[in-house]
Amino acid sequence: MNEHEKYLFDLRGYIVVRNALTTEQIDDLSKRLEKRRNQKNISLGSDRTQNAEGNLAWTASSLLEWGGSYLDLIDLPTIRPYLEVLLGKNYRLDHDYIKIDSLKQNRKLYLHGGGQGAGGVSDLVGPTDGGQCYYRFSNGRFFNGLVAVAFELDTVPVGHGGFACISGSHKVNFELPSDWKVSNTQEEIPECVDWVAASAGDAIIFTEACAHGTIPWRGEGERRTVFYKYCPHAVAWSPCYYNSDNYPELTKNQKSLLVPPSAFGPAPEVNNIWKKAQEEQQELINLRKNQN
Ligand SMILES: O=C(O)CCC(=O)C(=O)O
């Protein structure tokens, strides 16, 4: 992360990393999505916890099950240097999801997040949110409660839709005025909102502390965006954790990013504890199956 990028991230709360994905990765992510998107009961990620059968505390269904480039995204060399600067050592992948915007969706812009707890108790992230979206720069380093990486699979021209935020709001001290929180149409969007255009393969990295959301789509085609969200090693947002045993092909680094939260990060002792818990959970599943 160079000096310009650090400056812009601190100033605005987001940066756009151009060409974070190769053409092959975009194709592979697209193909794997298109193969599944019309299936019934498809899970588009691990962020919302539907307690579908088989969805256990640390085995939420996730995009990682789609394999290929979805596994590469866990620890992408073009993104890793940014996460190391923004989150420090031993950050973790907390959750993932895909969002598809098109005229069919008829989305509203819900601005959510807000620095220093400025999202307030009425923040649309959740009724008790008011501090976990933190952002701070002190003692020469960044601190973030949650960093999102939005990988664009399609080009999003200016005016069509896409990521929006109030630049700089990750440091604001006041709650977002309530009449700015929701815009039903593009015309209603307050002037202070930044509209962020991007090309297929770009990644928008933003701190969840920046008030942000999705612009109602207007235009041809659609926007397919893959979100991977990371937090410090002791922090958790999703109530479901990853089970790296489900993906034997992972590298050591990728595995360490899937470790459930703890003050100790991906230390061997922590891995042992989780391994045991996972084995016991599997044993319970097998016992229940055998009983039926
Ligand atoms: O559409 C976008 O890029 C924003 C998504 C969003 O609001 C979120 O991931 O919290």
In the reported structure, the alpha carbon of residue 211 is separated from the centroid of ligand 1 by a whole-number distance in angstroms of 10
Q: How far is CA 28 from the centre of its chain?
A: 19
Domains in the chain: boundaries: 3-107+134-154+197-204+216-291
In tens, the pLDDT along 176-223 reads 888 998 999 999 999 999 999 999 999 999 999 999 999 999 988 999
CA–centroid distance, 168 to ligand 1, in Å, is 16
Q: Which of 15, 48, 99, 100, when mutated, tests ligand 1's pocket best, judged by the most ligand atoms within 8 Å of its CB?
A: 99
**Atom 8, ligand 1: which residue's CA is nearest?**
213
Q: Are 215 and 109 in contact (CB under 8 A)?
A: yes
Cβ of residue 147 lying under 6 Å from some atom of ligand 1? no
User: What's the pLDDT tens digit per position in 274-285?
Assistant: 888 888 888 888
Question: What global pTM score does this model have?
Answer: 0.92
Strands 212-215 and 182-183 turn out to be unpaired
Q: Of 26 and 116, which is predicted with more confidence? A: 26
pLDDT surpasses 50 at 127: no
Helix (H, G, I), strand (E, B) or coil at 189: coil
CA dist 12 to 8, 87, 242, 276, Å?
6, 17, 31, 43
Which class is 3-107+134-154+197-204+216-291 in CATH? mainly beta
CA 8, CA 13: separation in Å to the nearest integer?
7
The average pLDDT across 87-110 equals: 90
pLDDT digit string, tens, across residues 61-82: 789 989 999 999 999 999 999 9
Q: Which residue has the higher pLDDT, 226 or 118?
A: 226
| Per-residue pLDDT tens over the stretch 16-63 | 999 999 999 999 999 999 998 877 766 666 654 554 555 555 556 789
Buried b (16+ CB within 10 A) or exposed e, 210-244: bbbbbbbbeeeebbbbbbbbbbbbebbbbebbbbb
Classify the C-alpha dihedral 186-112-265-99 as positive or negative: negative
CA distance 259 to 266: 6
